[in-house]
Amino acid sequence: MTSLLWFAIASLMSIGACLALRFVDPKRRRLVKQKPPELPGFVRPGLWSMFFLPAIALLFASQYVAFLAWLGAISVLGWLIALQPPKQAE
Amino acid sequence: MNTDRKKTLGRWVLAGPVSLVIGVLLMASTPTWFPAGAAGVNNLAFAVILFPAYWAIPFFYAIIDNNLKRVSLVLFAALAVNTALVAWSFLKA
Amino acid sequence: MSFVNKDASKRLLAVHGWSGTVLGLFLYVVVLTGAIAVFRHEIGEWSAGGAKSHVALDQPLNARLAEIANQIDPEYLKSAFVFSRDSGEIVTLFSTTERVDGELRQRGVRTVLDPVTLEEVQRDEGYFGDFAPDQKSALERFIVRLHVSLHAPRPWGLWATGILGFVMLSAAISGILLHKNMIRDLFVAPRWSSLLLNRRDRHILAGSWSLPFSFILAFTGTFFSFAGAIGLPIVAIVAFGGDQEKLIREIQGVPATQDSTPAALTNIDTVVAQSTQIVGSKPTAISVRNWGRADALITLRHPAAQGSLNGSLHRFAGPSGDYLGLKPNIGTQPSAGNTAVGLIGPLHFGTFGGLLSKIVWFSLGLATCYITLTGLQLWVQRRAGEAAWAWLPKTVTTVGYGTGVALASAGMGFFTALPFGRAVDATAFGFLAGAAVSILLGAVVSTNERLEKVFAGLLAILLPLLPATRMALAEDGWGTLLATGNAAVVSFDIVMMFAGAFIAYWAFWHKDAAADHAVVVGTPAE
């Protein structure tokens, strides 16, 4: 049960970071002729940390089962999140 | 054009059969130099585990390095060293 | 990467593209069957119509095993192995190992026991390799063998899949080296400004995200193919002068001391109970070495405990039944080599975390299929209009869908022939028939777009037909299955029906993103 719980929390955090990163991604926005939002410099590094932090936490807690499942799930889900085409006029 | 062809062919040979042979020889020589550890199996286990890497490293090196002469030199040196290691293990046995 | 200059990039791209084009379709077959094989035991249970009993080895077996041990040739007592099949039947293998024409072969007696009554339903004697294969697990075995060796004989099949594994490994590595803006492009959805760019973006996006896994799956897969085919023989030659038996003894960690004094074996049921208490899970296999001797050893295999990656082996002294402790998979004591070897299985099979990790690994497999096919489509798009490559688009579609059609057809063959005891042949025949129909369709249907629809329609019919056929010929309905702990079978029936419905929806009702962008892209130049 704990493996599953660790996995769920870690994945939710990373998916949240993923969605936010997609929203603020400058290149993604430029390509649909939208101006990237003006954000303080720490936002994107912060989001990336939020994306990877669960992995580090899982490894430190020796939750290897949850770590591998997280790594696999995020590889697929991150891709599916990025794959969604941006709305032309957001 | 002719020298270009020769070069391409040379690279094919080095990245193809030569790097495969090096991979196999590296695997064969690993039990002779890899520390066996207390259980006495590390040298055997890692020889086999590392095989994909043993093959991939000379393979990519042969593709990436622009200097084909250096590539052949390095790969044939690797070939020679590992052949010697394997031969030595036979003589010892 | 900075050390890869323009010329090197060109060569890397050539290797990435050509190896992917020449071998990509074979790789696709291996990866797709690998993704499906993640559920091999579920498929085994499903195709057998549910397990007759899930108690397996967690029941009194001692008296029955001792009885069999008494009936057989004493030389087979060297090695005993007991496990249960996905269909629930308990199998005992008593054997001795012999060298025949330079190859190690096991000779002995196999008995198959009914899991409820423990009555003997089948007995064979001879070389294990010559025994008739089990009919009920034919479908599962067919899929696994297709993945492992493409059904080619040993060692050629392993060589072939090993090379395909290396192609995947090198595609992943050259992918990293070639795509310099990988991080910057991680959230760039495939663009539609041109079809070529779209194909490229799709391939790269999927490839980038699943890069760690392409690497892991390819590395471990290459290891599995080559370890048995060339790794162990070569290591045996160098380390033990070619003595493979000695190598196997070293790896298995067989104790050096031998004592052939006769001694009665302890009660196996007591050992199983003790082990279950120590580990906290039921054993999945029992092995006994030197049954009836003073140096007899009992080893029990337990599945991975909650939160751990690996199963474990536990040893007991044969005559006394004393617990001797954990047995590493290789060697007699813990080692880095044992840990590393132990990681390869969980990393490749994804079976360490129950249904969750299996679903994740299955999805990763499908993502890899997508990468292979989009890579091929990118190659096609780059050469659009070149007559020399005109055959490729339909070939990609034929193999892409046709593998699925052939597998579903293999399943149809299996289910229709199982009641008549001909499932092994019928599975292979079904696969070949499905493949032949697919190839024929690929040749006959005029355009690639139409071919995709034809195949999708075929799959949408075949997949739900599998559970329908299974149920029509099975003894137990859903109610009985649910009552006997076979919910997995019911779930699989439902999954197949949904898969068919989903494919139909996707192919015929789903509005493709391409339709939105047709104006931007225009039709490709003929």
What dihedral do alpha carbons A7, A13, A17, A20 form, nearest 10°? 120
Phi, psi angles (nearest 5°) of residue B16: -85, -105
Tell me: ipTM over 0.85: yes
For chain B, list the contacting chains (3+ Cβ pairs, <8 Å).
Answer: C
Percentage of chain C modeled with pLDDT above 90: 69
For chain A, list the contacting chains (3+ Cβ pairs, <8 Å).
Answer: C
Q: Cβ contact (<8 Å) for C239 and B53? A: no
Percentage of chain C modeled with pLDDT above 70: 96
The whole-number pLDDT of residue C526 equals 32
Amino acid at C468: A
Q: Which residue has the higher pLDDT, A37 or C45?
A: C45
Q: Grade residue C92 by pLDDT with cuts at 50, 70 and 90.
A: very high
Q: In 3D, which of C201, C167, C175, C191 has the Cα closest to residue C377?
A: C201
User: Strand pairing partners for C286?
Assistant: C82, C300
Mean pLDDT score, B14-41: 91
Q: Cβ contact (<8 Å) for B48 and C231? A: yes
Q: Grade residue C519 by pLDDT with cuts at 50, 70 and 90.
A: very low
Phi, psi angles (nearest 5°) of residue A51: -65, -45
Residue-wise pLDDT for C161-175, tens only, equals 999 999 999 999 999
Q: How crowded is the C-beta side of C174, counted as CA atoms within 13 Å?
A: 26
Q: Cβ contact (<8 Å) for C352 and A85? A: no
Mean pLDDT score, C509-515: 68
Instruction: Tell me, yes or no, whether chains A and B touch by having 3 or more C-beta pairs under 8 A.
Output: no
Distances (CA, A) of A73 to A1, A2, A56, C203, C208: 18, 17, 16, 19, 14
Q: Cβ contact (<8 Å) for C227 and B93? A: no
The whole-number pLDDT of residue C451 equals 96
Chain C residues close to B90, C-beta within 8 Å: 238, 241
Residue C59 near chain B (CB below 8 Å): no
> What DSSP state is assigned to residue C263?
-
Residue C251 has pLDDT above 80, yes or no: no
pTM over 0.90: yes
* CB crowding A6-15: b at 16 or more within 10 Å, else e: bbeebbebbb
Chain A residues close to C192, C-beta within 8 Å: 85
- Interior CA angle at A53 toward A83 and C187, to 5°? 20
Residue C336 near chain B (CB below 8 Å): yes
Phi, psi angles (nearest 5°) of residue C108: 170, -150
Burial label for C354, CB within 10 Å (0-12, 13-18, 19+), is middle
Lowest mean pLDDT among A20-29, B80-89, C207-216: A20-29
The whole-number pLDDT of residue A68 equals 94
Chain B residues close to C7, C-beta within 8 Å: 66
Q: Grade residue C235 by pLDDT with cuts at 50, 70 and 90.
A: confident
Residue-wise pLDDT for C51-85, tens only, equals 888 888 889 999 999 999 999 999 999 999 999 99
Residue C343 has pLDDT above 70, yes or no: yes
Residue of A nearest to C186 (CA): A82
Q: What is the CA radius of gyration of chain B?
A: 15
Distances (CA, A) of C385 to C43, C382, C389, C524: 43, 9, 8, 9
Residue B86 near chain C (CB below 8 Å): yes
Q: Cβ contact (<8 Å) for C231 and B43? A: no
Residue C523 has pLDDT above 70, yes or no: no
* Distance separating alpha carbons of residues C368 and C214, to the nearest angstrom: 7
* Distance separating alpha carbons of residues C78 and C74, to the nearest angstrom: 8
Which residues have a Cβ under 8 Å from the Cβ of C36 and sit 6 or more positions away? C43, C143, C147, C362, C365, C407
Distances (CA, A) of C489 to C42, C44, C372, C460: 8, 9, 31, 20
Mean pLDDT score, C390-415: 96
Angle between helices B2-13 and B68-92 (to 10 degrees): 30
Chain C residues close to B38, C-beta within 8 Å: 333, 335
Q: Cβ contact (<8 Å) for C353 and A65? A: yes
Residue C515 has pLDDT above 70, yes or no: no
Give the residue ranges of DSSP H helices in C179-231. Answer: 195-209, 211-226
Residue B1 has pLDDT above 70, yes or no: no
Q: How crowded is the C-beta side of A16, counted as CA atoms within 13 Å?
A: 12
Q: Kindly report the average pLDDT of chain C as a whole number.
A: 90
List the single best residue of C238, C247, C338 to mutate versus B (max B Cβ within 10 A).
C238
Mean pLDDT score, A34-55: 87
Largest CA distance in chain A: 46
Chain C residues close to B42, C-beta within 8 Å: 335-337
* Distance separating alpha carbons of residues C347 and C363, to the nearest angstrom: 14
The whole-number pLDDT of residue C408 equals 97
Q: What part of A 38-77 touches C (C-beta under 8 Å)?
A: 63-66, 68-69, 71-73, 75-76
Q: In 3D, which of C369, C366, C396, C403 has the Cα closest to residue C380?
A: C396
The answer to whether the beta carbons of residues C465 and C503 sit under 8 Å apart is: no
Q: For B89-92, which contacts have Cβ atoms below 8 Å and span 24 or more sequence positions?
A: B89/B29, B89/B31, B89/B32, B89/C238, B89/C239, B90/C238, B90/C241
Mean pLDDT score, A53-72: 93
Residue of A nearest to C205 (CA): A79
- Cis preceding linkage at C334, omega within 30: no
Angle between helices C487-504 and C40-47 (to 10 degrees): 100
Q: Cβ contact (<8 Å) for B39 and C332? A: yes
Residue C15 has pLDDT above 90, yes or no: yes
The whole-number pLDDT of residue C22 equals 93
Residue-wise pLDDT for C465-482, tens only, equals 999 999 999 888 899 999
* Distance separating alpha carbons of residues C46 and C136, to the nearest angstrom: 10
Residue A89 has pLDDT above 70, yes or no: no
Check residue C167 and give left, alpha or beta (phi > 0: left; psi -120 to 50: alpha): alpha
The whole-number pLDDT of residue A15 equals 95
Q: Grade residue B37 by pLDDT with cuts at 50, 70 and 90.
A: confident
Provide DSSP, C436-494: HHHHHHHHHSSSHHHHHHHHHHHHHHHHHHHHHHHHHH-S--HHHHHHTT-HHHHHHHH
The whole-number pLDDT of residue C253 equals 72
Residue C256 has pLDDT above 70, yes or no: no
Amino acid at C418: L
Q: Cβ contact (<8 Å) for C239 and B38? A: no
Chain C residues close to B11, C-beta within 8 Å: 11
Q: Which residue has the tokens 């008995």?
A: C111
Mean pLDDT score, C212-228: 93
User: Strand pairing partners for C111?
Assistant: C92, C123
Q: Grade residue C375 by pLDDT with cuts at 50, 70 and 90.
A: very high
Q: Cβ contact (<8 Å) for C7 and B11? A: no
Q: What is the CA radius of gyration of chain C?
A: 26
Q: State both tokens at B23.
A: 């991979």
Residue A33 has pLDDT above 80, yes or no: no
List the single best residue of A6, A28, A59, A64 to mutate versus C (max C Cβ within 10 A).
A64
Mean pLDDT score, C453-463: 96
Residue B40 has pLDDT above 90, yes or no: no
Q: Grade residue A1 by pLDDT with cuts at 50, 70 and 90.
A: low
Mean pLDDT score, C138-158: 94
The whole-number pLDDT of residue C128 equals 93
**DSSP SS3 for B78:** helix
Q: Grade residue C525 by pLDDT with cuts at 50, 70 and 90.
A: very low
The answer to whether the beta carbons of residues C352 and C346 sit under 8 Å apart is: yes
| Residue B2 burial (CB count, 10 A) | 6
Q: For C116-120, which contacts have Cβ atoms below 8 Å and span 24 or more sequence positions?
A: C116/C52, C116/C53, C118/C61, C118/C64, C118/C90
Q: In 3D, which of C298, C280, C301, C279 has the Cα closest to residue C288?
A: C298
Residue C417 has pLDDT above 90, yes or no: yes
Burial label for C384, CB within 10 Å (0-12, 13-18, 19+), is middle
Q: In 3D, which of C296, C290, C299, C350 has the Cα closest to residue C319?
A: C296
